[in-house]
Amino acid sequence: MANQTALFVALFLLVLVAKHAEARHTRLVPAVFVFGDSTVDVGNNNFLGTRKEGRANFPQYGVDFPTSKPTGRFSNGFNTADQLAQLLGFAMSPPAYLSLTGRKLRSQMFKGINFASGGSGLGDHTGRLVVGEVIPMSLQLEYFATVVEHMCETAGSKKTASLLSRSIFFISVGSNDMFEYSFSRSNDIKFLLGLVASYKYYLKALYHLGARKFSVVSIPPLGCTPSQRLRRLAQMGTQGCFDPLNDLSLRSYPLVAAMLQDLSHELPGMAYSLADAFTMVSFVVANPKTKDWSFTELEAACCGAGPFGASGCNQTVPLCGNRNDHLFWDGNHPTQAVSGIAAQTIFAGNRTFVNPINVIQLAML
C-alpha cells in the first residue's frame, strides 16, 4: 500500500510539473546559484589541471546535449542542475564560474552562476588524490564572495541583498567525501558528524553572504552505482550493491535533516528544501516502469566496458542504444533521464521525497 501511495504521489507531481513547463518562460526566481560536485558541474573542471578521471569534456559525454558535444557535464545530456533550472524558468543551469571573465561575469552574475566542481567535496582535500585539481566547497564560497562584491559595486548592497534573498541556492555535495572515507573507515559516527558540521559551516557562510533559500540534495545510495557494484564483486565475489557505503549514505540523511532544521531556527529568514536522494533513487529502482518512465537496466552503465560498464566512459568503449533505458550513464553518474526525474521531484515532490517543502514552495516564499 505504501508503494502504491508513493507511486500515485510521484505520478501526480509529474503531471503538475508538465503543466508548469508549459509556462516556464516566466522565471520563478531572479537567479540560481549552484554549488557542489560532479552531479551538478557544468564545466568548471574544464579549466583546471584535473586528470581525465575528473573531467567530462570528451566524447561520449554530451551525446544527447543540444549540441551533441561534451561540455564538462558528467552526463549524456543535461544534469540535475540544468533541469531544475529549466523548471524554474531558465534555459539551463547558469554557466560555470571559471568560464566567465570580465564583461561575461558582470552580465551573468545577476542571473546566477554555477561553482560546482567534479570530484570535490566538503573537505578541502577531497578529490585531490583521485582526480587532481578540484574546487572544494571552501573555494567555491570564496569565488561566490568575490561575485557578491562585484554585485554590490555594480548595483549597491541593498539591491544585491534583495536579489540574493529571493534566489535559489542549489547544493549537491558530500558524496565524494563519503566515497573516499569508505576506503579507510575508522569511526563512522565521527566522520558523519564532521561531514554535517562542515555542511553547516558552509551553509552559514552562504547565509551571511546573502543566501536565504537553500535547495539541498542528500547523499544517494552510492553503493548501487556501477563502480561500487564492481567493488563488491571484486572484494566479496558476489553481485549487488556495496552495502557498507549504502549504510553510510542512509545514516547521513537524518543528521543533515536535523542540522538544516536547527539552522533554520537559528538564522532569521532562512528557508530550505531537503531532497531525500536515497528514497528517490530507491523508489525508481522499486518502480522501474511507469507511464512516465521505463528503465530496463538498473545496474550497468550506458557508457563503459567490463563488469557493470564501470571501466570508464570514453569514445572507445561501447555505448548503449537507448540512454533512457538506463539508470546510470557512467560508473558513477545518472543518465539525463534519471536526472530529469530527480529535478522534477526536487521541484514539485511531496514530503515522501522532499522536506519540509519543495522548490516550488521555496521559490514562492
Is residue 354 within 8 Å of 11, Cβ to Cβ? no
Q: Tell me, what amino acid is at 215?
A: S
Question: How many Å separate Cα 338 from the centre of its chain?
Answer: 12
Of 75, 198, 333, 339, the active-site residue reads: 333
Q: Of 20, 37, 38, 41, which is the active-site residue? A: 38
Q: What are the φ/ψ torsions at residue 222 (nearest 5 degrees)?
A: -60, -30
Catalytic residue chosen out of the listed positions 82, 218, 330, 339: 330
How far from 365 is each of 29, 218, 280, 359, CA to CA, in Å?
10, 22, 25, 10
Phi, psi of 277, rounded to the nearest 5 degrees: -65, -30
Q: Cα(first)–Cα(last) distance of the chain, in Å?
A: 33
Residue 38 is among the residues annotated as catalytic for this protein: yes
Q: Which cell numbers hold the place of 158?
A: 541593498
Residue 333 bears catalytic tag: yes
Residue 49: count other Cβ atoms within 10 Å of its Cβ: 9
Least Cα distance to 334 among 177, 243, 217 occurs for 217
Q: Where are the beta strands (DSSP E) in the chain?
A: 32-36, 168-172, 213-217, 271-275, 297-301, 326-328, 354-355
Catalytic residue list: 38, 330, 333
